[in-house]
Amino acid sequence: MNIIIEIIKCFIFVRIVWVDIKRKIIPEKSVITLLVIGLILALQSHSLEKYYLGICAYSMPMIVLYILEDYVNKTLIGFGDIKLMMGIGGLLKYTGIENVMNFYIILYSFSGIVAFLFLFLKKWKKYEYIPFAPFIVISYVIFEIFFYKVF
């Protein structure tokens, strides 16, 4: 059963990345599917509370960033990125603030380095739309491989 869920997650992540790059939007059905998968896994492991707290904890820094957009009058992230973080938070579940911080350190470091390289190599223009979903998904994979399974 778990291998089937992992394959489904991979297809969903590929779809999210592809659609975000091509259409600049994160599909609602994919995010809802991630939330349902997280719910199923939480019910299997009797950790519904950690599922809910994971949704809240992993999406909260993005919500704060979304609110700050009003004060700087610039679009930083879209609400689809927040919904994607809710789905990922449900998959990861809340296991402590350290893991949330580690995830965001990976996310911002990785996306900053890649964005800097692409800007330096003139692949992106300074104010061009940069899809954030690929960075979120790759950070999730890195986090699951190196951090999440250890605890």
Look at residue 126 in the predicted model and tell me its pLDDT: 67
Look at residue 134 in the predicted model and tell me its pLDDT: 95
Q: How far apart are CA 67 and CA 62, in angstroms?
A: 9
Look at residue 146 in the predicted model and tell me its pLDDT: 87
Residue entry with tokens 């999440």: 148
What are the structure tokens assigned to 1, written together? Answer: 């059963």
Per-residue pLDDT of the chain (151 residues; tens, 9 = 90+): 689 999 999 999 999 999 999 999 999 999 999 999 999 999 999 999 999 999 999 999 999 988 888 888 877 788 999 999 999 999 999 999 999 999 999 999 999 999 888 888 877 676 667 889 999 999 999 999 887 654 4
- Give the single-character DSSP code of 24: S
Q: How far apart are CA 103 and CA 119, in angstroms?
A: 24
What are the structure tokens assigned to 120, written together? Answer: 């330096």
> Count H helices, E strands: the chain?
6, 0
- Give the single-character DSSP code of 108: H
Of 133, 39, 15, give the one whose Cα is nearest residue 84.
Answer: 133
pTM across the whole model:
0.90
Domain span including residue 111: 2-148
Q: How far apart are CA 66 and CA 83, in angstroms?
A: 12
Exposed e or buried b for every residue in 131-144, given b needs 16+ CB within 10 A?
A: bbbbbbbbbbeebe
Domains identified in the chain, total number: 1
Of 116, 136, 9, give the one whose Cα is nearest residue 62.
Answer: 136
